Homo-oligomer: A and B are copies of this chain.
Amino acid sequence: MPDSPAHAPMPGAEVLAEPMRSRWSPSIFDDAHRLEPAQVAALLEAARWAPSRGNMQPWRFLVAERGTPAHAVLVAHLRRGNSTWVPRASVVFLGAAQFAADEAGEGPDQPEYSFHDLGQAAAHLTLQARAMGLHAHQFAGFDRDAVAAELGYPSYVRLLTGIAVGVPGDPATATERDRSKEERVRDRRPVADFAFAGSWGTPWDGAPEGTG
């Protein structure tokens, strides 16, 4: 793998359009920055227009702005690796999916699509952030059951992720560990490992099927 830092495009990524091309997950946020309500609204609007199976829109987001009680609940339950950088972000969007029937007996019959579609909404929010000059870093390392309980989540919803959004901060104010995360090389599986043609396991090779 080439030895390029986290924020540098990796070989292959140069074919991507913006905002996909310049999306990455910083770990040093400016802890004095705040999002305007209109910016939060635009990020939620991006999630809102994500596609979903049967247009069920199974996602729910709790907006935890730095300095609010809900944010403090999250911070108290962050796993160690996230406890330094997450609290500095301007806002954390807590992403949850309805995976079972609610009090009215309404809900998805196939929970895997709820998680899938929460992922799509999270991606749209994250990419909208990048397009607005912001950065987003998704994380799952927190005590999700404890946070969900303290914030009153019902049993038919699963809290899965946080999306930390903000602007880059001064590396001098970050921990050594978080600075090293920023320099970590980004890598991904080769396309041939995840893209097939013809049948499972046969790498898609860029040629029409049967001629490769």
Contacts of A55 in B (CB 8 A): 187-188
- Dominant secondary structure of chain A at its interface with chain B: mixed
CA distance in complex: A47, B123 (Å): 11
Chain A residues within 8 Å of chain B by Cβ, number: 84
Within 8 A of B (CB), among A2-30: 10, 12-13, 15-20, 23, 25
Q: How far is the CB of A204 from chain B (nearest CB, A)?
A: 5
Q: How far is the CB of A32 from chain B (nearest CB, A)?
A: 16
CA distance in complex: A55, B49 (Å): 26
- Across the interface, do B200 and A62 meet the contact criterion of CB distance under 8 Å? yes
Closest to A50 in B: B123
- Across the interface, do A61 and B17 meet the contact criterion of CB distance under 8 Å? no
Within 8 A of B (CB), among A86-129: 97, 99, 111-113, 115-120, 122-124, 126-128
